[in-house]
Amino acid sequence: MVAVSGFAQDIIARQAPSDKRLKDIRNVKLNNTAAISADLNNPAANIYTDWTDNLRGCTGSVPDNYKIDLRGFCMPTPSRKLNSPFGPRWGRQHEGLDIKVYIGDTIRAAFDGKVRICKYNGSGYGYYIVIRHPNGLETLYGHLSKQIVKKDQVVRAGEPIGLGGNTGKSTGSHLHFETRVLGQPINPALIFDFEHQDIVSDYFVLQNGISKGNVARSANSINANSESGNRTAARK
């Protein structure tokens, strides 16, 4: 073996051909990051025509067979216990799921997006947050004890946005979680499987105003999302 000095190694390194493919990959990554940032500044502009703090005042139209990409998700809470489902309750429509959480539990953004509403409603949601996502969904997180994001703030999937609580019209600490498109509620259980801490499918299709979940995902897709979720949790 022949020992090579540090000076000689530097010379060899400078003379080595550059890796063009690596540079191209880096450029593509930077371009994609710029595109994502632009989407988050005006998420789902293809179907929404306004940006207000009115929960049901969204305007726009959903194309037929509108496909909502659910990949890149994060479960809002690790809790698996469902207190109350979507549907009729106490003579009115319960437009979300009630998931058991305790006061002070961390609540996270379900997808990348931008905070559209960050308010308090004493006769309803208490402290609540609505986030609009580039995939067309809006998610609502209600009865929080604290909001730790602000209106118009860009957030990433898995980023803490609030703390679990018992504010507003609530009979115990829990997270009220809704999924909406253009202000219209969709049963979150068609999208999120809290028991198994996963999404129901990679895509969710709105077909002629009727929501249809896509076929079950492949094992590779499930594993990829699980690994992504673990990495996100580790970074937090």
Structure tokens at 212: 């249809």
Cβ-based neighbours of 118, under 8 Å, separated by 6 or more: 128, 129, 130, 147, 149, 150, 151
Q: How far apart are CA 64 and CA 48, in angstroms?
A: 15
Residues across the chain? 236
Q: How far apart are CA 194 and CA 196, in angstroms?
A: 5
In angstroms, the Cα distances linking 35 to 39, 42, 113, 185, 228 are 6, 11, 13, 29, 21
What is the model's pLDDT at position 174? 96
The pLDDT tens digits along the chain (236 residues) read 445 454 444 443 344 443 433 344 344 333 444 444 558 999 999 999 999 999 887 888 888 889 999 999 999 999 999 998 887 777 777 889 999 999 999 999 999 999 999 999 999 999 999 999 999 999 999 999 999 999 999 999 999 999 999 999 998 999 999 999 998 899 999 999 999 999 999 999 987 655 554 433 333 333 444 444 443 333 33
Q: Can you tell me which residue has the tokens 């194309």?
A: 63
Query: Contact 174/98 with Cβ under 8 angstroms?
Result: yes
Structure tokens at 17: 């051909």
Per-residue pLDDT tens digits for 3-30? 545 444 444 334 444 343 334 434 433 3
For domain 66-235, say whether CATH 2.70.70.10 is its number: yes
Per-residue pLDDT tens digits for 63-96? 888 999 999 999 999 999 999 888 777 777 788 9
The pTM for the full model equals 0.74
User: Domain residues of the chain, as ranges?
Assistant: 66-235
What is the model's pLDDT at position 35? 46
Run of H or E including 13: helix 6-15
Structure tokens at 102: 């305790």
Neighbours of 105 (CB within 10 A): 20
Q: How far apart are CA 104 and CA 70, in angstroms?
A: 27
Q: How far apart are CA 23 and CA 44, in angstroms?
A: 31
b/e per residue 27-43 (b: at least 16 CB within 10 A): eeeeeeeeeeeebbeeb
